[in-house]
Structure 1
């Protein structure tokens, strides 16, 4: 049996909302420690249950890198997840930026190696979608989340339905 789809998960925006007046965001326990990112208080622990219910393999695709496992996973009740390590900058990055391609797009495809995947991020554009459709042999869902609100029930439904359908295609 072929491996199931990957779920590339960004943190800032999808899990830790930002962009509204800070007082508009609820704060969740435990409160961040003095040496922790103060925005961790916006991380809703119930998101972990929703993420675990998604039918795929969760992978951190965030600038938090391995800190996501140390700081976020315990608060969400998640196990340590694989982390997409970003390559060093290159000339390709400059060319990608000139055409508007997100700097994560190419490394995500290299990591996926043709496997179906869902990418959940707040910075996905039509350029990324077009590039993936032309360069990735497998199925892909690039799901943009409104960073002001983070992942909502509607987002989980869309991603979950796509993941279930991709397993049967």
Structure 2
């Protein structure tokens, strides 16, 4: 079983999530690269808010974890060490046209899964994504939407664990 970990917000940002506070969290005046660079000096509100306990909770899930994030390989350099996770495979992205309302990652996730069961955790999953996966993926799939303001919480881990049983 494969679990797709998406975005920093889904691996433990606390209250405020990626939509509150600093420009790094809102993706406004600063790029993700700027936020990563700032973290070298201990100033990144995006990375500083990670909960290290989330790493062991993610690792305990009965899934093969994979990064599916715009951080791409940088997730292994910047996020994984803060969570105590090993280097994880990274799902590469391509920019392609999508149907209205379809998340740009959805087709890439389905192509990567190749019919295998998978769970995708993201704060931007919507009805169009669910419909597209149902129409284009032969295997079981859990598209689990997480509240970006809270990050992963106990109920999310319970849902992910229950789905594989």
Q: Structure 1 length normalisation: TM-score?
A: 0.80
CA offsets 1:76-111 (integer angstroms, 9 cap, x no match):
111100000102x23xx1xx24x2110000000000
SS at match of 2:120: strand
Q: Would you say the 8 A contact 1:12–1:147 is kept in 2?
A: no
**Which protein shows a greater Rg?**
1
In the other structure, the counterpart of 1:139 is 140
In the other structure, the counterpart of 1:26 is none
Of 58, 65, 73, the residue aligned with 1:66 is 73
In the other structure, the counterpart of 2:113 is 112
What is the number of residues matched between the two proteins? Answer: 146
Q: Structure 2 length normalisation: TM-score?
A: 0.82
Are 1:18 and 2:14 matched, yes or no?
no
Are 1:9 and 2:16 matched, yes or no?
no
Q: Would you say the 8 A contact 2:121–2:143 is kept in 1?
A: yes
Alignment of 1:1-169 (within 5 A): 5-15=1-11, 16=13, 17-21=17-21, 32-34=39-41, 37-87=44-94, 89-90=95-96, 93=97, 96-97=98-99, 99-163=100-164, 165=165
Unaligned runs of 5+ in 2: 23-37
Residue 69 of structure 1 deviates from its aligned partner by 0.3
Partners in 2 of 1:38 and 1:146 — Cα distance?
A: 18
Q: Would you say the 8 A contact 1:18–1:149 is kept in 2?
A: no
The RMSD of aligned alpha carbons is 1.8
CA offsets 1:105-143 (integer angstroms, 9 cap, x no match):
000000000000000000000110111011100000000
